[in-house]
Amino acid sequence: MSDSIPEDLVDRVRDGDVRLHELDEHVDPDAAATVRRRLVAERSEATLDAVGEYTFDAADADPNIDNMIGAVQVPLGVAGPVSVDGGAFTGDRYLPMATTEGALVASVNRGCSVIDAAGGATARVTKCGMTRAPVFRVADVAEAEALAGWVRDNEPALRTAAESTTSHGELLGVTPYVVGNNVYLRFRFDTKDAMGMNMVTIATGEASAVVEAETDASLVALSGNLCSDKKPAAVNAVEGRGRSVAADVELPRDVVTERLHTTPEAITEINTRKNHVGSAKAGSLGFNAHVANAVAAMFLATGQDEAQVVEGANAITTAETTVDGDLYVSVSLASLEVGTVGGGTELPTQAAGLDVLGVRGGGDPPGSNADALAEAIAVGALAGELSLLAALGSRHLASAHEDLGR
C-alpha cells in the first residue's frame, strides 16, 4: 500500500477535475485507494486507518471492487474437524467460517462434534445447473405458444450458439414459460467449477440473438427475474439453481441424550412445529432454523457472492425418530450457488479458506471442486441446525448466549 500520493491529484479530485473512478489512470491501484480513503475521511470525518491495513495488492482486487478505499476484515474461525462421506468431499476436514456473530462457530462446532461421534455425515450434490431467464415480447398468446414450441424444436441450435461463447459451460436445457404476450426462457447450464453467473449471461445473450433472428419475438431483458438471482423465489426451491445438495446423519439415542442433553423425540417435535409448521404459517420459502448462518459464514470465508445467500438459505431441515429410537436429521439446500474459480475465490484470504477445505481451483474432473464445496457447506448447515435444535430442546439457547457474553 502506498501513502505517497501527489497532492495536486488530491486537489484535482476535490475540484472535480478527476473522478474517484479515474484515479487508477493516474497512479497505481494502491495509491488510488489511498487518495480515495483520504478524501472520504475528510468528507465524512471518519477515521479510516483500519480499512487501509490490508495484505493484498489493490490491483489483485480490481475484478472484485470499484472505487476501492481499503478492506474490511471479518474474523475467521473453523468448526470441526468433521468426518464427511461425500460424493466429492470426503475425509476429516475443518470448515472455515467468517462471521461477526458470536457463538455461531461454537454452535456449528458442537454440531460437528456430535456428527463425528455418530460416525460422520453423508452429503451429495443431487442436481447442478446455473440459470438465466431472458424475457421476450410477442404479439399474443398464439405467438407465445408458437415460440415455446420453436424453442423446444430448436434447442440444439440454441446450444451451439450458447456454447460458442465458453470453453467450459454446457447448456443443459431451456424451459419456456408463457405469461400472456411474455415468454420467459429459463436456460440452465453446467458451469463446472465456476459459480458461472457471468458465463451463463454471456452465453444466454448469444442464444437470445438466435431467437430474435429466427422468430418474431423481441428480447426485452436478458434477465426476466425467472432465473431467479439474489431474490427469494419458489422456482429455485422447486427446480434448483446452482447446486442442489443434501446432507444427513443418524445420531444414536445415547449421543443425543449425553452430548446434546435432550431426546430424539424433542428434536423431532421442535423441527416439525418450528421449522415446518411455523415456517409455513410465516409464508417462508425456507423450512429451517438458521441455515443462512452457515451459508453466509462459509461464503465469506471462501469468496462466494454473498448476495446469493438469499438462495443458498432456501433449505428444508427434516428430523425424525427412527424405529430404534435414534435421531435422523437432514438438510437439503435447493439452490446453493458456489464456485472454486473466478470472482472472490482469487483473493488471497478467500483462496486460503478454499485451501483449508482442499477445493481451490478447478477440479478433476471439472466441477468436482465446486461439488465438494457445496457438500462442505451442506454439512456445516447440518451441524448448525442440529446444534440449534438441540439448544432449543434442552432450553439452553438463551443461557448459552449469556454464558458466552454474546
401 is catalytic: yes
258 and 381 in a single domain? The answer is yes
Domain boundaries, position 286 = 76-128+243-403
291 and 367 in a single domain? The answer is yes
Instruction: Give the number of domains in the chain.
Output: 3
101 is catalytic: yes
| Backbone CA torsion sign across 178, 184, 190, 193 | negative
Catalytic hit among 305, 306, 326, 346: 305
**What is the pTM for the complete model shown?**
0.93
How many other C-beta atoms can be found within 10 angstroms of the C-beta atom of residue 60? 12
- Respond yes or no on whether the N-terminal peptide bond of residue 6 is cis (omega within 30° of 0): no
> Residue 71 domain-assigned?
no
206 and 101 in a single domain? The answer is no
Boundary of a domain, candidates 172, 187, 221 = 221
349 and 294 in a single domain? The answer is yes
Catalytic hit among 168, 261, 396, 401: 401
Catalytic hit among 24, 28, 101, 155: 101
C-alpha 74/C-alpha 50 separation (Å) is 12
* 96 touches 353 (CB < 8 A): yes
385 is catalytic: no
364 and 350 in a single domain? The answer is yes
> Residue 210 domain-assigned?
yes
- Please report how many Cα atoms fall inside a 13 Å half-sphere around the Cα of residue 112, on the Cβ side: 25
114 and 36 in a single domain? The answer is no
pLDDT in tens, the chain (406 residues): 445 677 888 888 888 888 989 888 889 999 999 999 999 999 899 999 999 999 999 999 999 999 999 999 999 999 999 999 999 999 999 999 999 998 999 999 999 999 999 999 999 999 999 999 999 999 999 999 999 999 999 999 999 999 999 988 999 999 999 999 999 999 999 999 999 999 999 999 999 999 999 999 999 999 999 999 999 999 999 999 999 999 999 999 999 999 999 999 999 999 999 999 999 999 998 999 999 999 999 999 999 999 999 999 999 999 999 999 999 999 999 999 999 999 999 999 999 999 999 999 999 999 999 999 999 999 999 999 999 999 999 876 545 445 555 5
> Residue 161 domain-assigned?
yes
215 and 181 in a single domain? The answer is yes
375 and 283 in a single domain? The answer is yes
